[in-house]
Amino acid sequence: TKKKLWGGRFTGKTDPLMHAFNQSLRYDQRMHAVDIKGSIAYAKALALKGILTAEERDKTVKGLEIVGKEWDDGVFQVQADDEDIHTANERRLTELIGPLGGRLHTGRSRNDQVATDMRLWLLDQVEEIQAALKDLVSVMVERADKEKDALLPGYTHLQRGQPIRWSHLLLSHAFSLQSDLQRLQELKPRISILPLGCGALAGNPFLVDRQFLAGELGFQSIAENSLWGVGDRDFIIEFLMWASLSMTHISRMAEDLIIYSTAEFGFISLSDAYSTGSSMMPQKKNADSLELLRGKSGRVFGNMAGFLMTLKGLPSTYNKDLQEDKEPLFDAVDTVSACFHIAEGVIATLEIHPSKMRDALTMDMLATDLADYLVRKGIPFRETHHISGRAVALAESRKVQISDLSLEDLRELCDRFEPDVKDVFDFEASVEKRDAIGGTSKRMVERQVRVLREILHAP
């Protein structure tokens, strides 16, 4: 059998179970392209220091490109002894270009290599996640712009509160997700720090030009401390925290929509494309897409909590525990991307039922407006709140709506009520009164659409 990359000091054989236990190639092969990219840059850096001749550099780069193409074409032959993506690529390179392949790792360790790969890989993923999240937010914004006329109850404590526009609700979720876009952008400078050139832990004795490496690989800055460079995984924790928060937003939005899609509410229906049926109850149409969006938040939080736990007791620099950074990160990346795409589809295709929404509006939801009416007549709000409350109680005792109370009834409660009080009992008018920035008036909803569009289209 072939010798291990690190086999020089060993005489005994690795236990087969241990080999499998230690092996990460199964999942870290996802990083094949960035691993090759890092190695190509490193070969060039070695040549700048005369460790590879120009000819050797070209041969090495060409070999690496062939290895990369084998991965791309799905023909890379994994061997039983390959431990991880780094050893697999180096093994294959050496098969292709001979002993020269063995020069590439000069001054480099898998410790600075893997940290570099992880950062490069995550930076690429962040671009894709940003694009997916932007698409989701724009679908929400465009939908909100089209459906400004639909009114529905706004809830606190899941009890009917005040009438609002459906668009206003949809945009509230869009604003949460827009903050996620902003936050993700802010993570990038801390992901984009180059570890390559830190060696195993103490630094690079061949004086490779790390500025050059950073330039070749597109890093914004360079790890200034080699111990930190190989041992830091905060960028992964930060991403997992980011993903957890964003999934919280997805989950809360899903919860609203699940409630609204029940027969009891009936405000929306999901398209068939995002629903499933029951194996037993023929009438069922379940909002599985939304339930999965809500449910998948749990696994992302788990990825975050799990890897934080892995990290917290580690001594400085590299420890093999750090190999456990990959599966949670990869899973979180896959999960948030899938969730953003599904949420986009769900929102793009759901149907709203404006008449059902309107039917859920009740006149007691205008009790605040009734109090505000008296405020405009000069009475302090604390008093008008009480008067309006008594009107609600009176209507309740008579089993009528507050709008059914006569002017005389209202005058019993306060002599400042006048005939124009009837104008209070109008949902549209109530919504239009909330015309300060952030309110649910049409003008302010339009403003929100404008603000979000500007953010989305900013370069």
Q: Out of 138, 248, 323, 337, which residue is the one contacting ligand ARG (CB under 6 A)?
A: 323
160 — phi, psi (to 5°)?
Answer: -55, 130
Span near ligand ARG by CB under 6 A; candidates 30-38, 48-56, 317-325, 401-409: 317-325
What is the token pair recorded at 244? 């957890």
Amino acid at 201: L
Q: Write the burial class of residue 40 (CB in 10 Å: 0-12 exposed, 13-18 middle, 19+ buried).
A: buried
Neighbours of 299 (CB within 10 A): 15
The total number of residues shown for the chain amounts to: 459
> How many binding residues for ligand ARG (CB under 6 A)?
11
Q: Out of 39, 60, 111, 275, which residue is the one contacting ligand ARG (CB under 6 A)?
A: 111
DSSP state string for 195-249: -TTSTTTT--TT---HHHHHHHHT-SEE-S-HHHHHH--HHHHHHHHHHHHHHHH
Catalytic residue among 221, 271, 278, 355: 278
CB of 125 to ligand ARG, least distance (A): 17
Told to judge if 271 belongs to the known catalytic residues of this protein, a careful annotator would answer no
**Closer by beta carbon to ligand ARG, 88 or else 268:** 88
Told to check if 37 binds ligand ARG by CB under 6 A, we report no
Told to judge if 278 belongs to the known catalytic residues of this protein, a careful annotator would answer yes
Span near ligand ARG by CB under 6 A; candidates 50-58, 64-72, 320-328, 329-337: 320-328
**Closer by beta carbon to ligand ARG, 91 or else 294:** 91
Q: Out of 43, 97, 114, 333, which residue is the one contacting ligand ARG (CB under 6 A)?
A: 114
Q: Out of 35, 82, 84, 216, which residue is the one contacting ligand ARG (CB under 6 A)?
A: 84
Amino acid at 328: P
Answer for the pair 192, 223: CB distance below 8 angstroms, yes or no: no
DSSP 8-state code for residue 273: G
CB of 321 to ligand ARG, least distance (A): 9
Answer for the pair 141, 171: CB distance below 8 angstroms, yes or no: yes
**Closer by beta carbon to ligand ARG, 227 or else 245:** 227
Distance CA 332, CA 299 (A): 8
Q: Write the burial class of residue 266 (CB in 10 Å: 0-12 exposed, 13-18 middle, 19+ buried).
A: middle
Per-residue burial over 116-151, b if 16 or more Cβ lie within 10 Å, else e, is bbbbbbbbebbeebbebbbbbbbbbbebbbeebebb
351 — phi, psi (to 5°)?
Answer: -110, 140
CB of 243 to ligand ARG, least distance (A): 20
Amino acid at 73: D
What is the token pair recorded at 278? 């029951």
Span near ligand ARG by CB under 6 A; candidates 57-65, 108-116, 252-260, 303-311: 108-116
Told to check if 110 binds ligand ARG by CB under 6 A, we report yes
User: In sequence order, what are the residues at sequence separation of 6 or more whose Cβ sits closer than 8 angstroms to the Cβ of residue 74?
Assistant: none
CB of 21 to ligand ARG, least distance (A): 12
Going by C-alpha positions, the residue among 440, 260, 451 that lies closest to residue 347 is: 260
Span near ligand ARG by CB under 6 A; candidates 142-150, 217-225, 316-324, 377-385: 316-324
Q: Out of 318, 330, 340, 427, which residue is the one contacting ligand ARG (CB under 6 A)?
A: 318
Q: Out of 214, 322, 360, 371, which residue is the one contacting ligand ARG (CB under 6 A)?
A: 322
CB of 84 to ligand ARG, least distance (A): 4
Catalytic residue among 157, 279, 406, 457: 157
Span near ligand ARG by CB under 6 A; candidates 314-322, 349-357, 384-392, 433-441: 314-322
Q: Out of 5, 24, 141, 213, which residue is the one contacting ligand ARG (CB under 6 A)?
A: 24
> Which 401-440 residues touch ligand ARG, going by CB under 6 A?
none
Told to check if 226 binds ligand ARG by CB under 6 A, we report no
CB of 67 to ligand ARG, least distance (A): 17
Distance CA 229, CA 318 (A): 9
Which residues are at the interface with ligand ARG (CB under 6 A)?
A: 24, 28, 84, 86, 110-111, 114, 318, 320, 322-323
Catalytic residues: 157, 278
